[in-house]
Amino acid sequence: MEKTKYISAKEVAQALGIPMVTVIRWAHQGKIPCKLKKDGYVFNWEEINDWAGSHDFVPMKKEALDNDSAKDETISLRKAIERGDFIYNLSGCDIYSILKNALEKITLPEGTNKEKVLHELISREEIASTGIGKGIAIPHPRCTLNLKLEKPVIFVIFLERSIDFSAVDGKEVFVLFMMFSPCTEVHLKLLSRLSLCLREESFLSLLKEHAPKEKILIEIQRIETLFDSQRNDSLQ
């Protein structure tokens, strides 16, 4: 006989979006299908799913139970850059040629239509420049495209010579952080982390001297760890 797979009250609570106390009370009152084992109530995943359906609860996804850890992982700028690449001395005389040349040098997930990506990047620049000042620009597509990205990727691109990017402070841009994110939420989080780094003079000077990949990554790591530890401190 095949052994039925049971889930705990906590998992039921998570999947249905109700407090665990309520799930246990319902079990006790007989309002939700369950079995009483020695160490408490257990629930059959399929029974619960049927029950949720017939009681007008949003049916739960089994993956939701397993994927919880992935969601909790904090977004790390360093990891996103590590997933991408560093490009030095990219040539180009205007925004268009720079973006075009950059796209040729980077690797995106297989089957990506680079032409379309370029179009998206350009149209984003047309709305408002992504030059955020201090000689830095963060070109990114308007929507997430169909890049089939699971995790964000950032390419750091140093230009051969600075160009006019119509940046907010009017300064010429010398480095690009080209960002591809799976969703807006991740994109915004990365952006806030990047702006955090850009506040640091040490980081800016590393960029200005086109420092090697390793040095920059170590610096980002330093800033991020500092930030995370401060955050945890105040949370406790």
Partner 1 sequence: MKSINARLRTIFINRDSRFQSVIIGILVGICSGLAAVGLNFGLEKFSRFLSRFEGNFYVVLFPLAGITLTVFILKYIIKDFGGHGVPEVIYSISMKGGAIKFRSSFSKLIGSMITISSGGSAGPEAPVVISGAAIGSNIAGYFKTNERIRVAVTGSGAAAAIAAIFNAPITGIIFTLEVILGDWAPQNMLPVAIASVTGTIVSRMLKGNQIPFKHREFNVTLDDIFAAAGLALVIAIISLVFIRMLKLSAGVLEKYFKNAIGKAAVGGLLVGTVTVFLPYVKGEGYEVVRRLLGGNFIVPIGMVIILILMKIFATSVTLGAGGAGGVFAPSLFIGSVSGYFYFQLVTFIFPHANFTGAPLFALVGMAGMLSGALYAPLSGIFLIIEITGGYDSILPLLLVSFLTYTIVKLVERHSIYHHELVQKGFLLRPRTDKRILAEIQPAELLETDLITIYPNMLLKDLVPIIERSRRNYFPVEDPETENFLGLVYLNDIKSYLFNPALLNSIIVEEVMHTDLPIVSLTANMTDILKIFDTTGAWSLPVVEGNKFFGLISKATLLDHYRKELKVETEDL
| Residues binding partner 1 (CB under 8 A) | 18-19, 21-22, 25-33, 35-36, 51, 54-57, 231, 234-235
**E strands along 58-167, which residues?**
85-90, 131-133, 136-137, 153-163
| 166 vs 178: CA distance, rounded Å | 17
Which of 229, 173, 171, 219 has its CA nearest to residue 199? 219
**Closer Cβ to partner 1, 51 or 180, answer by number:** 51
Three-state secondary-structure class, residue 137: strand
| 47 vs 50: CA distance, rounded Å | 5
Q: Is 119 a catalytic residue?
A: no
**Closer Cβ to partner 1, 27 or 156, answer by number:** 27
| 111 vs 29: CA distance, rounded Å | 54
**Closer Cβ to partner 1, 166 or 225, answer by number:** 225
Q: Find the shortest distance in angstroms from Cβ 23 to partner 1.
A: 10
Q: Find the shortest distance in angstroms from Cβ 30 to partner 1.
A: 3
Q: Find the shortest distance in angstroms from Cβ 16 to partner 1.
A: 8
Task: State the catalytic residue, choosing from 28, 55, 119, 140.
Answer: 140
Which residues participate in catalysis according to the annotation? 140
